[in-house]
Amino acid sequence: MEPIVWTDELSVGVVLFDEQHKRLVRMLNRMIKDPGASTRSETVSDILTELTRYAQEHFKCEEDWMIQHDYPRLEEHREEHVEFRKTVAELCVAASSGLDSVPKILLDYLKSWLTHHILHEDMQFKSFNEELQSKPTAG
């Protein structure tokens, strides 16, 4: 599989979130470029550590922003974040027990997160934010 190249099509219209999503794409690309990585490899352990931190930081930014702007899909969106954290935590446990399939599960999960969450759920920020920007500011 070829590494993912960032283009404007991946942009959700909020600069901070795009920058954070690029971090996820870099992690995904690191997995793609190291297809033979084993469960106990540095690649897998670095990525699991970084993903745990990424989920804390990035999801908090998105959720704070959604709350601040009365975003209508906050609950559904937050549920997906909860699922992601749970999956990453489970993968950390699986990795420390040496389960062989961790690298493949991790790669597939990151690809599907990009397609299903970032390009679907996060992408809905774009039109919402455009509308927000076009409204005159109160006060």
Residues of this chain that interact with Fe ion (CB under 5 A) are 62, 122
Are 38 and 44 in contact by the 8 Å Cβ rule? The answer is yes
We find the least distance from the C-beta atom of residue 117 to Fe ion, in angstroms, to be: 6
We find the least distance from the C-beta atom of residue 41 to Fe ion, in angstroms, to be: 26
Indicate the residue among 10 and 94 with the shorter CB distance to Fe ion.
10
Residue number, nearest CB to Fe ion = 122
Indicate the residue among 110 and 122 with the shorter CB distance to Fe ion.
122
Residue 5: both structure tokens together: 């190249």
Residue 130: both structure tokens together: 């455009």
